[in-house]
Structure 1
Amino acid sequence: MDGTAPRAGDPAPDLTLPDTHGTPTHLADLRGESVLVVFFPFAFSGTCTGELRELHENVEDFEAAGVRLLAVSTDPVFALKAWHEVEGFGFDLLSDFWPHGAAARAYGIFDESSGHALRGSFLIDADGIVRWSVVRPRGRRRDLEDYRAALAEL
């Protein structure tokens, strides 16, 4: 892991990353709404697919809480676009490919030895403050009930 991940009460590091169409998404532009930034290691991998499918199947929980989902990996835009077309996720996939892992580094969860982000999730309020976070080591998935508990506290 590279650095320290922001915790509840910390300002969220800003990020600007392209979506599956190459359009930049600026976290700072989303002030005024709550955002859940979900870092994942790789598109098309088993655990990542399972986690993001679960989020997609329960996206109404996030929408009801007024939370926008952003899923981020170090995959290139083209890989994320292909994966999005296969899976039909109902939220944005963002590429942290270049400069490689810059957003994951800013969030303290870039794994230098493997070149990808760890499984880190950061619930950011409308003022840009982290309200909840979780970081899981390689191979350990996040729990949907943890997300629901965090949403209830927002």
Structure 2
Amino acid sequence: MAIEVGSKAPDFELKNQHGEPVRLSDYRGAKNVVLVFYPFAFTGVCTGELCAIKEELPRLQNDDVQILAVSVDSPFTLRVFGEREGLEYPLLSDFWPHGGVATAYGVFDDEKGCAVRGTFVIDKEGVVRWSVVNGLPDARDEQEYLKVLASL
């Protein structure tokens, strides 16, 4: 079960597609965070969702908001994926311990070995203000993220 709105977001440190560490707590007090879990790079629905975020990037990532996309893929896979698709926001690797961060957020599917499609909007104080969890085949609407961010 996904963590609830109003809960403190679990902190984490993961490597991005360039092997650099990224911590959720780095944004505390500075930016709201849209934390997007997705199953796997190079798959149809995931690629579509992440490219839709890319199209809205000026509105979704700015001085007030940071996008962080998380999958269980290795940083090497994420680097190739990001370069191929032109994704210029952090793609974080929840590779090892396998799915540890997705598990902390309640969006890891043990049977399939990947995250389901969970999104969490976390405010500058580190509190979850909105979330949505979709099944593996069901794409999310990035326009919903924009509506939520506008209300913060």
Q: Tell me the TM-score range normalised by the shorter chain.
A: over 0.9
Quote how far apart the aligned CAs of 1:152 are: 1.6
Distance 2:77 2:15 in 1: 12
Quote how far apart the aligned CAs of 1:123 are: 0.5
Letter in 2 for 1:6: I
Matched, 1:71 2:107: no
- Once the two structures are aligned, what percentage of the paired residues are identical? 48
Gapped runs of 5+ residues in structure 1?
none
Quote how far apart the aligned CAs of 1:65 are: 7.4
Matched, 1:21 2:15: no
Distance 2:104 2:90 in 1: 20
Letter in 1 for 2:80: A
Gapped runs of 5+ residues in structure 2?
none
Distance 1:127 1:144 in 2: 22
Letter in 2 for 1:86: R
**What residue is the counterpart of 1:153 in the other structure?**
151
Distance 1:84 1:145 in 2: 22
Letter in 1 for 2:67: L
| Count of aligned pairs between the two proteins | 151
Matches within 5 A, 1:2-151: 4-32=1-29, 33-63=31-61, 66-151=64-149
1:8-48 alpha-carbon deviations (Å, 9 max, x no partner):
21100111100012111111121111111100000000000
Structure 2 length-normalised TM: 0.95
1:95-153 alpha-carbon deviations (Å, 9 max, x no partner):
00000000000000100001000000011011000011100012001012211221121
Structure 1 length-normalised TM: 0.94
The runs of at least 4 consecutive aligned structure 1 residues that moved more than 6 Å come to none
RMSD over equivalenced CA pairs, Å: 1.1
Q: Is the 8 A contact 1:65 1:151 kept in 2?
A: no
